Structure 1
Amino acid sequence: DDAKHLFFWFAESRGNPDEDPLILWMSGGPGASSVGFGLFQELGPCQMTGPGAAHFNEHAWNSKANVLFVDQPVRVGYSYSDDPATSLEETTEDMYQFLAAFVQRYPRFATQDFYIVGESASGSFVPALARAIDHRQSSPMAHLVRSSSKPDKGFGHINLRGIGLGNAQLSQALQWPGFFATGCTGDTPLFNASTCTALEEGLPECVRMLEICAGNTDVCDAVLAHCRQQSVGLIVEAGLNPYDFRLECQGMDNCYPQQAWTRDHLDSHEARRALGVAPDQQLNMINNQVYEDLIKSGFFAVDPVTWVEELLEKDYRVLVYVGNKDWFCNVEGERQMANSIRWRHQAGFRALSERPWVAGGGDAGTYKRHGNLAFAEIFDAGHMAPADKRVETLFLVNSWVNGTM
Structure 2
Amino acid sequence: MGFVLKVMGFLGWALLSLIAIVPVVAARHRPWSHSKKVNISEEDLVTELAGQPKVEFSHYAGYVTVNEKHGRALFYWFYEASSHPEEKPLVLWLNGGPGCSSVGYGATQEIGPFTVDTDGSGLKLNPYSWNRAKDTYIFLHKWFNKFPTYRHRSFYIAGESYAGKYVPELAELIYDMNKHPSLHINLKGFLLGNPETSDADDWRGMVDYAWSHAVISDETHKIIKESCNFDKGDPWSNDSCSQAVDELLNQYKEIDIYSLYTSVCTNSTSSNDGSMQVMYNSKSKMMPRIMGGYDPCLDDYAKTFYNRPDVQKALHVSDDLHLKNWSICNYKIFREWSESRPSIVPIYKKLIAAGLRIWVYSGDTDGRVPVLSTRYSLGALELPITRAWRPWYHQKQVGGWFQEYEGLTFATFRGAGHAVPTFKPSESLALFASFLAGESMPSER
Paired residue for 1:183? 210
Aligned: 1:36 with 2:104: yes
CA distance in 2, matches of 1:134, 1:114: 12
Aligned counterparts, 1:167-316, within 5 A: 167-185=194-212, 189-191=213-215, 195-203=217-225, 205-206=227-228, 208=229, 210-213=230-233, 228-236=245-253, 239-250=254-265, 251=268, 252=271, 253-254=274-275, 255-278=295-318, 279-282=321-324, 283-295=326-338, 298-299=339-340, 301-316=341-356
Match of 2:123 among 54, 63, 67: 54
CA distance in 1, matches of 2:202, 2:310: 43
Match of 1:9 among 59, 72, 77: 77
Q: 1:323 to 1:133 in 2, by over 3 A?
A: same
Partner SS for 1:308: helix
Give CA deviations for 1:63-84 in whole Å, capped at 9, x if unaligned.
Answer: xxxxxxxxxxxxxxxxxxxxxx
Give the CA deviation at 1:222: 6.5
User: Is this contact kept in 2: 1:319–1:373, CA < 8 A?
Assistant: yes
CA distance in 1, matches of 2:323, 2:93: 23
Aligned: 1:117 with 2:158: yes
Give the CA deviation at 1:101: 0.9
CA RMSD of aligned residues (A): 2.2
Amino acid in the other structure paired with 1:348: I
Paired residue for 1:371? 406
CA distance in 2, matches of 1:361, 1:11: 31
CA distance in 1, matches of 2:117, 2:379: 38
Partner SS for 1:311: helix
User: Is this contact kept in 2: 1:232–1:327, CA < 8 A?
Assistant: no
Give the CA deviation at 1:225: 7.2
Give the CA deviation at 1:317: 1.2
Paired residue for 1:69? none
Paired residue for 1:148? none
CA distance in 1, matches of 2:385, 2:190: 20
CA distance in 2, matches of 1:16, 1:184: 49
Aligned: 1:347 with 2:369: no
Paired residue for 1:158? 185
Amino acid in the other structure paired with 2:256: N
Give the CA deviation at 1:226: 6.5
Identity %: 26
Match of 1:103 among 141, 144, 147: 144
Q: 1:107 to 1:203 in 2, by over 3 A?
A: farther
Give the CA deviation at 1:202: 0.6
Give the CA deviation at 1:132: 0.6
Stretches of 4+ moved more than 6 A in 1? 220-227
CA distance in 1, matches of 2:310, 2:237: 44
User: Is this contact kept in 2: 1:61–1:394, CA < 8 A?
Assistant: yes
User: Is this contact kept in 1: 2:384–2:406, CA < 8 A?
Assistant: no
Paired residue for 1:75? none
Q: 1:105 to 1:226 in 2, by over 3 A?
A: farther
Between Structure 1 and Structure 2, the one with more helix by share is 1
Give CA deviations for 1:22-71 in whole Å, capped at 9, x if unaligned.
Answer: 11000000000111110001110001240124320111001xxxxxxxxx
Give the unaligned 5+ runs of structure 2: 1-66, 276-294, 441-445
Give CA deviations for 1:243-299 in whole Å, capped at 9, x if unaligned.
Answer: 10112332423252110110110110220121122234352421111123322xx32
Give the unaligned 5+ runs of structure 1: 63-90, 146-155, 214-218
Aligned: 1:93 with 2:134: yes
The total of aligned residue pairs comes to 341
Give the TM-score normalised by the residue count of structure 1: 0.79
Amino acid in the other structure paired with 1:138: K
User: Is this contact kept in 2: 1:321–1:376, CA < 8 A?
Assistant: yes
Partner SS for 1:98: helix
Give the TM-score normalised by the residue count of structure 2: 0.72
Amino acid in the other structure paired with 1:312: I
CA distance in 1, matches of 2:398, 2:385: 25
CA distance in 2, matches of 1:160, 1:36: 26
Partner SS for 2:143: helix
User: Is this contact kept in 1: 2:385–2:404, CA < 8 A?
Assistant: no
Amino acid in the other structure paired with 1:115: Y
Give CA deviations for 1:204-245 in whole Å, capped at 9, x if unaligned.
Answer: 543x2x3123xxxxx588799777524333222xx2100101
Give the CA deviation at 1:157: 2.3
Amino acid in the other structure paired with 1:94: D
